[in-house]
Amino acid sequence: MIATTAGRPAPARAPLDLSLYLVTDTALCADVGVPGTVAAAVAAGVTAVQLRDPGATDAELVALGREVRAALAGTCVPLLVNDRVHLVEEIGADGAHVGQGDLGINEARALLGETCLLGLSVQQPDHVAVALEHGPEVVDYLGVGPVWATATKPDHASPGGVERVRDISAASPWPCVAIGGITAERAALLRGTGAAGIAVVSAICGQGDPAAAAARLRRAWEGR
């Protein structure tokens, strides 16, 4: 458990397994649907799900989020909402994930309360240092990337490669999940970097068989 700067233990939050983290894409999931994709992928090894649909209205995202939450019922797999922290409670999600240009982590934590999960995207070690200024208890994990270029987020920062993941993981008191251009073939390159897991979008959402894709990624991450 991470200690606060005052020496007190951080608030107890749900355990978080970042081994295989799925970020949803509504367009890529069109054939199967987001809830169906999530259900199939979780059954095959996905350990955390982030709901992301920047083109949806708040009402649309709440409706979709509730469907995904229902698909996750009984799995113990957490649901995190990308960016729109104010919708977490309405969806019934377990927390949120914010980027460098989104709501600040102090503001996000204030909206979420002490028991919800909060993730933060970082692209360089300096971002870790800035986050630490707010206290190590404010966030629960870091999303590190993009590792490689990816078409699912055209405006992404410059890819940092495997070494950037290694550097940020070494600098971070929080578990890190690598994201950006990750495939089953590339997953092995990230083992040994200190990352706690891998995050993917199109490697599951863009596949005809999400369950098979998730199983392949999980085996690759675990070296099986």
Residue 143: beta bridge partners? Answer: 121, 177
Long-range contacts made by residues 120-123, C-beta under 8 angstroms, separation at least 24?
Answer: 121/97, 121/145, 122/168, 123/157, 123/158, 123/160, 123/164
> Active site residue: 69, 121, 216, 218, which one?
121
User: In whole angstroms, how far apart are CA 84 and each of 2, 40, 100, 121, 175?
Assistant: 26, 25, 14, 14, 22
Scanning the chain, the segments in alpha helix (DSSP H) are 34-43, 58-72, 88-91, 105-112, 125-132, 161-171, 184-190, 202-205, 210-222
Catalytic residue among 153, 164, 216, 218: 153
Are 20 and 198 in contact, with CB atoms under 8 Å apart?
Answer: yes
Tokens 């927390």: give the residue.
95
User: Which tokens go with 161?
Assistant: 């490669």
Alpha helix segments (H runs only) across 52-92: 58-72, 88-91
To the query of whether residue 164 is one of the catalytic residues in this protein, the response is no
* Catalytic annotation present for 153: yes
Active site residue 121: yes
Q: Which residues are catalytic?
A: 52, 121, 153
